[in-house]
Amino acid sequence: MMEEGPQSGPRRPAAAGKGERLKQVVVERIRSGAYPVGARLPGVRAAAEEFGVHANTVSRVYGELAEDGILRTAHGSGTYVVSVPGDTFGDRALSTLTAALADLAEQARHLGLTRESWEQLVARSAETAFKGDAPAIWMVECSRKDVQELSQSLTRLLDREVGPLLVEEVPAALDASNGDDVFLTTPFHYDEVAAVLGDRRMLLSVNVVPTPETLVSFAGLKPGAEVSVIASNQPTLDRMVRMVRTFARVTPVAAVLVDDEGAERTVRDASVLVDSQSIHDRVMAWGPPGQTITVRYQIEPTSIAYVGAVLRLRDAENEPASISGAAG
């Protein structure tokens, strides 16, 4: 049996290619503001699932970006953005891409492709990769954890890249975006986001509902359970109180905002505490003695169908212009 060796032509491991692509995506999200300085990146497992790579690949990429001073990993807490990549990093990424293209060209030559065939292959690949320069799609929410989960879910369900944005990050994203970008948000924040965007960008409303795990936790509460609710703002608090009344079939004995003077005492006295992801770590530091139910959300299926249909219609409207432009 003939052993494979250097004579079989240059070959780059597939994992290395996926790692480089993942690194480029993370860097671009940091530069675009999708991952602003101070933001916590998706966990290794979540990122591996989102990008279809092995968890070890994500760990390696996060580690390399940490060595470059772009990320910082705090054990037990997560990985955070600490700086925006500058021109030096861009030059290094370009050098890596140039080397990869040189390797691919060499492989093509070993396979017997002519230079003309290789150039045609590159042109077709470029046309596929840059076709239409599809607009960026952003999911907007007030909680970092919620918006990361929702944007990852939308990315899978729509088969389109959807980036996470906090409500307060919308103005900066608007300045950096092009006119075709699409913004998604929940009915809870629609008016707030619409006031920032005006008529300059498309804004679509997507309904969210409690996850099955959240509803099961509510259903499991005993009749007459003493439930306390804590939230980050009044609209969220009102919504969570209604949720407890509807799904747990009890009226909360206390409902406070996390910044209220008596919030910590309420948490320490709670038999059953209902909180949200955005304040969960802070609340847990106060040591709630009983059961804690952290409300999580998922996109309602009808909203997925609605957003998908709108985006397909938008693509269809833009297609004739693309074809005529190519023909010209």
pLDDT at res. 27: 86
Question: Residue 233 — very low, low, confident or very high, per pLDDT cuts 50/70/90?
Answer: confident
Query: What tens digit of pLDDT does each residue of 63-108 get?
Result: 889 888 888 887 767 888 888 776 556 566 667 778 888 888 899 8
Helix intervals (H) in the chain: 14-32, 44-51, 55-67, 87-110, 115-129, 144-158, 170-176, 190-197, 212-219, 234-243, 263-269, 280-284, 301-327
Structure tokens at 39: 């933001």
10 Å CB burial of residue 116 (0-12, 13-18, 19+) is: exposed
Which pLDDT does position 298 carry in this prediction?
86
What the block records as the tokens of 48 is: 């591996």
The predicted pLDDT at position 226 comes to 94
Residue 286 has pLDDT above 80, yes or no: yes
Question: Is the pLDDT assigned to residue 10 strictly greater than 70?
Answer: no
Given this model, what pLDDT does residue 216 score? Answer: 92
- The mean of the pLDDT values for the chain is 82
Q: Which of 278, 272, 284, 268 is nearest to 248 (CA)?
A: 272
Q: How would residue 17 be classed by pLDDT, with cut points 50, 70 and 90?
A: low
Q: Work out the burial of residue 187: count CB atoms within 10 Å of its CB; fewer than 13 is exposed, 13-18 middle, 19 or more buried.
A: exposed
Could you give the C-alpha distances from 304 to 149, 151, 157, 227, 274, in angstroms and in order? 15, 12, 7, 33, 28
Q: How far apart are CA 282 and CA 236, in angstroms?
A: 17
Is pLDDT of 234 > 60? yes
Write down the pLDDT at residue 223: 87
134-137 long-range contacts (CB < 8 A, ≥24 apart) are: 134/160, 134/315, 135/178, 135/180, 135/181, 135/182, 135/314, 136/32, 136/161, 136/163, 136/177, 136/178, 136/181, 136/182, 137/161, 137/162, 137/163, 137/181, 137/182, 137/183, 137/184, 137/311
pLDDT given at position 285:
94
User: Facing residues of 276 across strands?
Assistant: 295
pLDDT above 50 (res 11): no
Domains detected in the chain: 12-111 (1.10.10.10), 134-209+300-327 (3.40.50), 212-295 (3.40.50)
Q: How far is it, in rounded angstroms, from Cα 242 to Cα 138?
A: 28
Condensed to tens digits (0 to 9), the pLDDT of residues 125-149 reads 765 565 444 558 899 988 888 888 8
pLDDT value of residue 34: 81
